[in-house]
Each structure stands twice: as structure tokens, then as C-alpha cells.
Structure 1
Amino acid sequence: MTADLLRVLGLWRGRTGWLLAGVGITMLSALIGAALLALAGQAVAAVLGGAAVAGTVAFLLLRPLIGLRPAARWAERMVTHAATFRALADTRVWFFRRLAERLPAGIGLRRSGDLLGRMVADVEALDGLYLKVIIPVAAALAMVAVVAALLLGAPLLAAAVALPLAVALALPLLLAPGAARAATEAAEAQGRLRAAAVDPLLGIEDTLAANGEAAAGAALAREATSLGQAQRRLAGRAALAGAAGTLLTQAALLGALAWGLAAGSAGVALAVLALFLALATAESIGILPRAGTALAAAAAGARRLFEAADAPAPLTEPARPAALPTGHALRIEGLDFRWAPDRPAVFAGLELEIAEGSHLALLGPSGIGKSSLAALLLKLAAPQAGRITLGGVDIATLAAADVRRRIACLTQDARLFDDSIAANLRIAAPLAPEAALWRALDRAGIGTLVRALPEGLETRCGEGGARFSGGQARRLALARVLLSAAPVLILDEPTAGLDAETERAFLETLEAVTTGRTVILITHRLTGVERPGRILLLAGGWARQAAG
């Protein structure tokens, strides 16, 4: 648990200034609160003791603090929450990048709902590490230091008030291990619940077509019940911790009162001061025991994040990437590849050469390795033997981002995101001007349709491109690929799911707009519209020329 939490703090080192500012303002706010009640205690004690002048002075000193206290609390909330939001945003970006490195070929065996839960709920749980642990502990430390300093002249009184407060400071670390199991169960149950909710919705058409909504609803109900039980166990521990905090603050008050009664009239002033100081610490100290459950929840969230983020990456980037070559001819030499050690070989000794500017069609039945070859060329996977060269340079020595600047791909399930058309296109070229977007749309044969839309380029595509038909969505995806300056285009089953007429029109567009680029058309059949320079048939991990 400790190692995971320290690693989280390491991820936040870029926000050290904000985090320390939050701690500093929190301690200042706590000190102002202590000073406010300490002066109030002195004023009351002075009045009770007949020292009117001293009481008047104390009341006068209270006036500026009464205004400073709410201002300090406001600043504390603003700075600590700003620090937390920035730190969590950095964590999400880090986690996304780690996933992108480890899931280049897709989510695969991981459930999308569970990954969403880790990205959202588990990252959010980390806010407890700062807001519910570090910040309250900082405030409590300031308060205990003030109590010890102001009551230094009466050691027994200082012990009676400060000792329960010191115990409260230690409770988070004492209670966290016991809450860790409940927090882990709650985090895992929340991940299962999100998966049970998201996965059937992603395939809602199949769910409904198979009359699977009842089963999906039952699974969701089971996971909701499981989550509720885990959260109740965690809440029970938090309630017990809260009760312990209340008892400790009450013990400090009773200690001050008992000392005052024992000291008699000579100790009235110090006893009243101690009572007011105990009241001042009640807010900070009272929530400290609950910090133990927050610490456990943050540790559970961190563990789930690192579990996914630390999965082995399918390929390793070179420490010092080679410079991109000037050419872009592709050559595959003696390539052996399988997706996992326990899965059958996809390629065994594959040899293939693709000259610059050539058009090649790769044919073969489903599952023969056509899409695997695309993944290897895009450096989304690495071969176990052999090599692939781009312009004569082994792509293993090139940065993946550089390879993908030279090689672009239109996949069979190219996705449009629930954003504007312009935003979807600019995924390929973030700085592309509007004129370039229109050129790409016109070349893909869909510019006229987009111009006719009321919002034009700002039209939202809907989840998965639901705003458009299959053929229209495919043309928008083609426009995105054409916006890239990559000289090599991989077209992986580009007409999958289209009817015959739409398929023919789309392929005619492809033929017209890919002139001058190297094109690798991956398909299980040819329709006659394509005019590749070479046709290769993939079979048994080998490529055999079918036509020239």
C-alpha cells in the first residue's frame, strides 16, 4: 500500500508547487482558527478574572481575525481543490498514455467498462490521498503544535489536551490496513459494475437481437448488490473511525475541564484557554480517523491503476531512435510472428517487398494474418524473428510515431468519435487548416454532403458515427486518412459492411485519390474495380504472387 501511494505522489511531482501551497494555506488557516479561539478564551478568562482591560484588548484583537478566518478557509478550499484537479488530470493523462503503449492493437481481453472505471473512479479515489489525508493531517499538526506551545507552562494540562489529539493523528495509519481489504473489494466491485453496464450498451443491437437485455439486467443487479455490500463494509469502518475521532476530541475537552476543576480558581485562565483550543481542534481532529478509510480507498485505486498500467508492453521503443530515412520502400525479411506464445504462428519466414508508389493487393481468407501484417507495419506489434525495413531502415530502430507519420491506415472498423467532423478529421493532422479539411472531404467524395449540413464541419458525428450511414462514415474516415501526409496507405478491408453499390463507388474513389502513394489493399476478395499492380495471396504464413 505504501509503495503504491508513494508512486502516486511521484506522479504528482509536476504539481509540487500547487500541492505545497495547499498545505501551507491549510496550516495558516488552522493557525488563524486556533488564534481566534485562543484570543476568545483569553478574553473570557480575563472577564471572569476581573481583568477588564486585558479582556478588551483580546476582544479588539479578535476583530481582524474574524474577517481573516473565512478568507483563509476560502483560499484553502480553492487552492487545495485546484491542486487536486491538476494532479488527477496529470494522472489520467499518464494512465491513458500507459494504456496506449500496452493496448496498441485494441482492448483485447480487457473489458472496456472496467478500463473506464479505472480511468474515472479509481483516479477519483486518489483525491482522498491529498484532500482527506494530507490536508487534514497538516491542519491537525498545526493545531497540536499550537496547543503544545500555548499550554507549555502547564505540562499536565498540555498532556491532557494534546495527547488525545496526537492519538488522533496516528489513527489514519493504524486504521488504514484494516480498511484496505474493504476498499479493494469496493474498487473491484465498482469496476465489475461499470463493465456490466457498459459492455452490453456498446453492443446494444446484439444484446436486443438476442433478447439478452434480461440477462444483462440481472448481471447488472448482481454487481450492484455486490458493490453495495462492499461499500457498506467500508462505510461501517468509516463510521467507527468517525466515532473514534469524536471520542478523542471529547477526551481533550474533558481533560481540559478536569484539569481546570482540579486547579481551582488559580487555573481558570489556562483551563478556559485549553477548552477553547480543544474546540478549535475539534474540526480538524474529528475527521482524521476517517482519513484511514480514505487512505485505504486511495491505495486500492492506485493498485488497480498500476495493475493495468504496468502490464507488459507488446513492443519496446528504442532508447535512441534512428533518423527517418528519405525513402519509404517496404521490405519484410524472414518474419516470424504470433500474438502470444500459446497461440498458433501467423507468419513463418514471410518475405515481401513493396516498392515506392506501387499498389499491392493482399488477398486471403479471414484469420489468415492480413490485419496482423498491418499491425506489424504500423509498429503496433513486433515480430519474434526477422525484420521490417522502411526505406532500408529496420522499423525496430525507429520511433513508432515516426513510422506512423510515413504509414497511415484505414481500418475495417475505422471509428468516428462523438465529436465534430472537424475534430474527427484533425486526429490525423491537429493543426490542419479548414481549407485542408475541405480538400480531404472533397477527395473522399463527401464534401458536398458536409456542406449541405446546417452546421457543416461542426456537425457532430454521434457515438461511433451514428449520425451517418455506413458508406458516409467510411468516406469521412477516408478523408481523415487522406489528410495525413503519409506516403504509404494501408487499406484494411476498407469496404467491410458496405452494400455492393456503395462498395463499388467507394473503391472507385480510392483508386482516384491514392495515385502517387504506396497502397497496400488488404481484402478477402477483389471486385474488379481495384487495379493493383501486384496481387499476393496469403496462405499458411507465406505470401504467394497471384497475378502481376
Structure 2
Amino acid sequence: MSQIQDPLTRSETIKAAFKQIFHVWRPHRNSLFLGCVFSLIALALGLALMSFAGEKIALTAMGIVMISSALLKLLGGGRLLMRYIERLYTHNVMFKAIADLRVWFFSTLSKGAAAGLGFRHSGDILSRLVSDIETLDGLYLRIILPFLGAIVTFLVLLIGIGMINLPLAISIAALYAVAGFVCPFLSAIITRKRGKTLIEGIARLRIGVFDFVQGLREIRAFGVGDRVSAHLQTIEGQLFRQHYLQAKNIAGISFITFLCGQVAILLILLAALNMVFHDIRTTHIVFCLFLTITAFEGTLPLTKAGGLAGQIMNAATRVVGVNKGQIGYNNPDGKLEAPIQTHIEFQNMCFQWSKDRPWVYQDLNMIINQGERVAIVGPSGIGKSTLAALLLKVVTPQSGRILLGGKDLSDLSADSVRKKIAWLSQKTHLFDDTIRENLLLGKPDATENELWQALSEAAVADVVRAMPDGLDTWLGEGGVKISGGQGRRVALARTLLSKAPILVLDEPTTGLDADTEKEFFQILNQIGSDRTIILIVHRLTGVEKLDKVWRLSDSHIISEK
């Protein structure tokens, strides 16, 4: 979870978050504005309908007909039509805007995920992608639109009743200001901290459920299902408690809102009795009464919207801050294209994931010549995979330089660098799709012959040909319909398909048995003779064909062997 910030920093963070969200929504600004116009027109028609209907009732009771039924029918039909158009249009616009925000979120997340999701929980990422972004739906529909309507309603009360009796108009407008602006503001302040707790509580529950589902086999094996279920129920109970407390606070403020409306009606009744406010015609009294009742009906949702504001603010910071804390995420990308030459050099490079974590590398110096086959060997957790993240420009060193073809990596665009490097991670994912679609991730415009060539180089073409549907065979989630060795070979074929001159293999035989592991490296020995191959492993099998071995020591200094 994010750490608590001082008020000034937190205020700036929230401001920056909303600025980014509105930037993402910028292509929809005209549609969002038009939705506001539709909403205000529907509101105006509703206020006019109720006001004139009240006045017509009063005039009819007095035997006078000054307002035709045709006008009321026109206002009623117009309000119904505009309310339908407004709801349909604004929700459709918001659906598109939220869809764009999810695309932006996924795109932003991917920039920091090439080396994994770092130190974050998958359940937390899922919560940001689903719950937090859904919460932001209320920013436009439940806050912006209603408060714009509240401003218009306040002016209508002040002007409409002011033309009849100015002191009465000021009194009712003041009460409306308390109910429509002050109470929602108080609701937002009171529930702001609890909104953060609610958002994080939902994320914590998702993390727990996600972990429970993924570890279900181990939970059953160790017979701890009851204990884990009790833990989830505790988290759920805490979340419900926070929901209850927030609802209780909002209910208390809603009572003040309701009271303001009742006092406003009381003032009009006093005017009807010629008390406090004098010399107001009966028809005007009814006009003011209907207008006031209609206006104050919209204040209760405003108070609830104020309570939602705390959750929206925290959801905004969580969505925009998806890569917060990811080293190098905010560093500006280079402008130059990667050079044709692909020799790699680390010069006095220092790197740590965060200030509170130990240095991974200090003054690292290493040269990998173009076309060499090298191995980076060391125990788990010592920082081997970090090299892949550095080469792919997912993270950047705190000091020193990384050169590609003699050019500083920081001066090169990330896209051009990644076109030079094909990466096979230790947790390469096979999508729940066909073999063909999984391969095309490596090269979307690959031909049928290129797909089979890549499969042949990975020594899995015969296996795919033997399958009933060939390239169109469905792999299932995570490639469960094929063996682990076959899955790694398909992943290798996808990597080879890119034709990148540098091939980085990060623990490529993870999860394979000894025989399959040897077969994999024997296949690797036969391919990519014109490529630079960087093999990242925690031990060597003895069958790898290598030009050089770099071994990571406990001091994180690399020595050549």
C-alpha cells in the first residue's frame, strides 16, 4: 500500500492525478461538455415543469386559467425526452472515457512490467484496473454533472424567487447553498480518510482472494482452508465496518441537508401566512413552494456524492500512480534510434531498486561483444534478471552508463532498443489462445513459413504438426494443454521469430526436468550463430556452447571466468 504523505504533498499528488485523468479524457472533452448541456437542459425543464404546474394548480383553484395545459405537456414531454437523452448520452460518453482510461492504465503498467510487476501484488493491480477505475466513473456522473446542476438551481432559486420577494429568495438560496454545497463539502472532508481506507480495503480483499484461489492446491494439501477462510472473513468484516461507518457519517450530514429543505418550505409557509415575508400573492407562494421542493430533492444525492469524493480522490491517485516507485519509470525516453552495431558495455554502472534496498550493482564494468554467447551465472536473488531490465530500459541505473553499439542507452528510444533485443523470461506467459496467435506476438506480420521456421529452430515443429489443429491448436490458460518442455520451446520460437540481433534468455529452463533442460540447451547451441546470446542462469549444465562466463559474486561484482 502507498505510504501516508504530508497534506501538501498529498494535495499535489491528487491534483496531478486528476490532471492526468482529464488529459486521458481530452479526446472526449466536446462530448463530455455536450453531456453537461443535456443534463442542464433536462434540469431546467424539470424545474420549469414543477414551478408552472404549481402555479397552474393555484390559478385553477382560483378560477383563473393563465397557463395552458399544452405548455405543461410540452414541458413534461421535453423533460422526459431530455432526461432519456441525457442519461443515454452521458453514460455512453463515460463508458468510452473509462475504456480509454483502462487502455492508458494497461499501457502505463506495461512500461514498468517488462521485468515483472516489481514488488506489487497481482490482486492489487487487478483492484486498480477494475474497482478503482469503476469508482472514477462517478467523477463525471455523480460529481461534475450534479454540482453543475446545483449551481444552476441555486441561480434559478435566487433569480426566480428574487423577482417575487428578494429576502425570501436570499433565505431559501442560503439554505440551498448549505444543503447543496456546504454539506457535500463536509461529507467529503469527513469521509476522505475513510475513503482511502475503503479503497485499500477492497484492494486487500482482492489480494487475499486472488492469493487464496492461486494457492488452493497447497491450502487443501496442508488442511488450512478454515484458517485462510477465517482470515478472508476478517478482512471482509473490516471492510463492511468501514462501509457502515461511512454510511453513518453520510446519513448524519444528509439529515442536515433534509433539515435545510424543511426549513425552506417552512419559510414559504410563513410567507403564505403573511408572516416574516409579506405581501406575496397566493399564486407566487405556490410557485415558490413547488420550485423549492423540486430544487431540494436534488441535494441528498449531492451529499452522498460528497461522501464518494474521498474514494474518487484515492482511486485517482492509485490508478495514476500504478508505476509509482518503479525505478526509472518517470525518466524521459531517448530520441535517437538504436545503432546497427550491437556490442554491449557497462561502464561503472550502479543500480538499486529503491533507496531502502541494498545496491544490486556497484561500479559494474562488463563488455559483451557482438555475436558472442555469454552466460551470467549466480545464485537466485543476486540480481541476474536485473540486467535484462536494465538492457530493456525498463529501469535505469543511478550512475554510470550502459552502451549499445557505442551509444548511451539513455539517449536511445526504448522502442528502438527493444527491437534489438528478444527476451525470454523465466516466467514467460503463454496466452489462452492458439499457438499461431501466441507466436504472432513476436512478429505480428509473420508469414506461415516464418512461423514454421521459428518452430523448427526451437525443435517443436514436429510436435505442432502432429496436433489435430496444427498452428490453430488452442493452448489453454498458461499453455496447460501442452507439456512444460513443449511450452518453453513454443515460447523460444516466439522469441526467435522477432529476428532481433540480441537474444536474452533469463532462466529459460525454469520448471523443466534435467533431460528436457539438456535438450533445450542443445537446441539453443544450434541456433542463432549470428546473434548475441546472453544466457542468465543460476548454474550451468555443461552442454551450453559459450564464449564467456560472467559469475556474480556475493559482493555483486562480476568477474570473468
Shift of 1:406: 0.6
| Equivalent residue number for residue 157 of structure 2 | 147
* Contact 1:470–1:498 (CA under 8 A) maintained in structure 2: yes
| Equivalent residue number for residue 355 of structure 1 | 369
What CA distance in whole angstroms lies between the structure 1 residues aligned with 2:432 and 2:441?
Answer: 13
Say how many residue pairs are matched.
Answer: 543
Match of 1:218 among 206, 230, 236: 230
Partner SS, residue 516 of structure 1: coil
Match of 1:26 among 8, 23, 39: 39
Shift of 1:536: 4.2
Larger mean CA deviation between 187-196 and 339-348 belongs to 339-348
Shift of 1:423: 4.3
Shift of 1:462: 3.8
Is 1:113 aligned to 2:123, yes or no? yes
Shift of 1:336: 4.1
What CA distance in whole angstroms lies between the structure 2 residues aligned with 1:432 and 1:137?
Answer: 53
Partner SS, residue 287 of structure 1: helix
Summarize the Cα distance change of 1:240–1:337 in structure 2 as closer, same or farther, 3 Å threshold: closer
Summarize the Cα distance change of 1:438–1:346 in structure 2 as closer, same or farther, 3 Å threshold: same
Partner SS, residue 357 of structure 1: coil
What CA distance in whole angstroms lies between the structure 1 residues aligned with 2:357 and 2:16?
Answer: 35
Shift of 1:370: 3.1
| Equivalent residue number for residue 239 of structure 2 | 227
* Contact 1:45–1:272 (CA under 8 A) maintained in structure 2: yes
Match of 1:388 among 391, 402, 413: 402
* Contact 2:350–2:399 (CA under 8 A) maintained in structure 1: yes
Unaligned runs of at least 5 residues, structure 1: none
Is 1:290 aligned to 2:304, yes or no? yes
| Equivalent residue number for residue 176 of structure 1 | 188
What CA distance in whole angstroms lies between the structure 2 residues aligned with 1:480 and 1:421?
Answer: 10
What CA distance in whole angstroms lies between the structure 2 residues aligned with 1:240 and 1:457?
Answer: 63
Match of 1:328 among 342, 360, 372: 342
Is 1:464 aligned to 2:478, yes or no? yes
Indicate the RMSD between aligned Cα atoms, in angstroms.
Answer: 3.1
Summarize the Cα distance change of 1:452–1:249 in structure 2 as closer, same or farther, 3 Å threshold: farther
State the identity %: 37
* Contact 1:443–1:479 (CA under 8 A) maintained in structure 2: yes
Partner SS, residue 288 of structure 1: helix
Shift of 1:160: 5.0
Letter matched to residue 80 of structure 2: P
- Within a 5 Å distance, the mapping from 1:510-521 to structure 2 comes to 510-521=524-535
| Equivalent residue number for residue 194 of structure 1 | 206
- Within a 5 Å distance, the mapping from 1:258-269 to structure 2 comes to 258-262=270-274, 267-269=281-283
Is 1:72 aligned to 2:82, yes or no? yes
Letter matched to residue 375 of structure 1: A
Larger mean CA deviation between 31-40 and 9-18 belongs to 9-18
* Contact 2:349–2:400 (CA under 8 A) maintained in structure 1: yes
Shift of 1:460: 4.9
* Contact 2:432–2:479 (CA under 8 A) maintained in structure 1: yes
Larger mean CA deviation between 1-10 and 479-488 belongs to 1-10
Match of 2:133 among 120, 123, 146: 123
Alignment deviations for residues 309-348 of structure 1 (CA, whole Å, 9 cap, x no partner): 4436336644653332121122233444444556555445
Partner SS, residue 97 of structure 2: helix
Shift of 1:487: 0.8
Summarize the Cα distance change of 1:291–1:361 in structure 2 as closer, same or farther, 3 Å threshold: closer
What CA distance in whole angstroms lies between the structure 2 residues aligned with 1:121 and 1:31?
Answer: 34
Larger mean CA deviation between 520-529 and 124-133 belongs to 520-529
* Contact 1:113–1:196 (CA under 8 A) maintained in structure 2: yes
Summarize the Cα distance change of 1:60–1:334 in structure 2 as closer, same or farther, 3 Å threshold: closer
Shift of 1:307: 5.4
Letter matched to residue 276 of structure 1: F
When normalised by structure 1's length, the TM-score is 0.88
Shift of 1:121: 1.9
Is 1:502 aligned to 2:516, yes or no? yes
When normalised by structure 2's length, the TM-score is 0.86
Shift of 1:270: 0.7
Unaligned runs of at least 5 residues, structure 2: 1-9
Match of 1:398 among 384, 407, 412: 412
* Contact 1:172–1:290 (CA under 8 A) maintained in structure 2: yes
Summarize the Cα distance change of 1:153–1:99 in structure 2 as closer, same or farther, 3 Å threshold: same
Alignment deviations for residues 471-522 of structure 1 (CA, whole Å, 9 cap, x no partner): 1221221122122231100112211211233223333333334232221222
Letter matched to residue 24 of structure 1: V
Summarize the Cα distance change of 1:535–1:207 in structure 2 as closer, same or farther, 3 Å threshold: same
Shift of 1:75: 1.7
Summarize the Cα distance change of 1:244–1:542 in structure 2 as closer, same or farther, 3 Å threshold: closer
Letter matched to residue 269 of structure 1: T
What CA distance in whole angstroms lies between the structure 1 residues aligned with 2:348 and 2:327?
Answer: 23
Larger mean CA deviation between 320-329 and 97-106 belongs to 97-106
What CA distance in whole angstroms lies between the structure 2 residues aligned with 1:422 and 1:259?
Answer: 79
What CA distance in whole angstroms lies between the structure 2 residues aligned with 1:462 and 1:132?
Answer: 41
What CA distance in whole angstroms lies between the structure 1 residues aligned with 2:88 and 2:527?
Answer: 54
* Contact 2:118–2:326 (CA under 8 A) maintained in structure 1: no
| Equivalent residue number for residue 3 of structure 2 | none
Larger mean CA deviation between 311-320 and 406-415 belongs to 311-320
Shift of 1:291: 1.9
What CA distance in whole angstroms lies between the structure 1 residues aligned with 2:538 and 2:273?
Answer: 93
Alignment deviations for residues 144-184 of structure 1 (CA, whole Å, 9 cap, x no partner): 32333332122244345433322222221122111212222
Shift of 1:28: 0.7
Shift of 1:27: 0.6
Larger mean CA deviation between 458-467 and 384-393 belongs to 458-467
Shift of 1:295: 1.4
What CA distance in whole angstroms lies between the structure 1 residues aligned with 2:392 and 2:470?
Answer: 32
What CA distance in whole angstroms lies between the structure 2 residues aligned with 1:380 and 1:98?
Answer: 12
What CA distance in whole angstroms lies between the structure 1 residues aligned with 2:516 and 2:357?
Answer: 37
Larger mean CA deviation between 171-180 and 534-543 belongs to 534-543
* Contact 1:5–1:298 (CA under 8 A) maintained in structure 2: no
Match of 2:175 among 164, 188, 201: 164
Alignment deviations for residues 1-51 of structure 1 (CA, whole Å, 9 cap, x no partner): 765554444221413223222221111110111122223223222212222
What CA distance in whole angstroms lies between the structure 2 residues aligned with 1:47 and 1:307?
Answer: 61
Match of 2:264 among 222, 244, 252: 252
Shift of 1:81: 1.9
Match of 1:531 among 545, 548, 556: 545
Alignment deviations for residues 444-469 of structure 1 (CA, whole Å, 9 cap, x no partner): 34445556656665655444333332
Is 1:37 aligned to 2:50, yes or no? yes
* Contact 1:329–1:356 (CA under 8 A) maintained in structure 2: yes
Larger mean CA deviation between 404-413 and 87-96 belongs to 87-96
| Equivalent residue number for residue 328 of structure 2 | 314
What CA distance in whole angstroms lies between the structure 2 residues aligned with 1:316 and 1:304?
Answer: 16
Letter matched to residue 374 of structure 1: A
Summarize the Cα distance change of 1:344–1:238 in structure 2 as closer, same or farther, 3 Å threshold: closer
What CA distance in whole angstroms lies between the structure 2 residues aligned with 1:51 and 1:450?
Answer: 88
What CA distance in whole angstroms lies between the structure 1 residues aligned with 2:367 and 2:137?
Answer: 53
Summarize the Cα distance change of 1:372–1:179 in structure 2 as closer, same or farther, 3 Å threshold: closer
* Contact 1:317–1:399 (CA under 8 A) maintained in structure 2: no
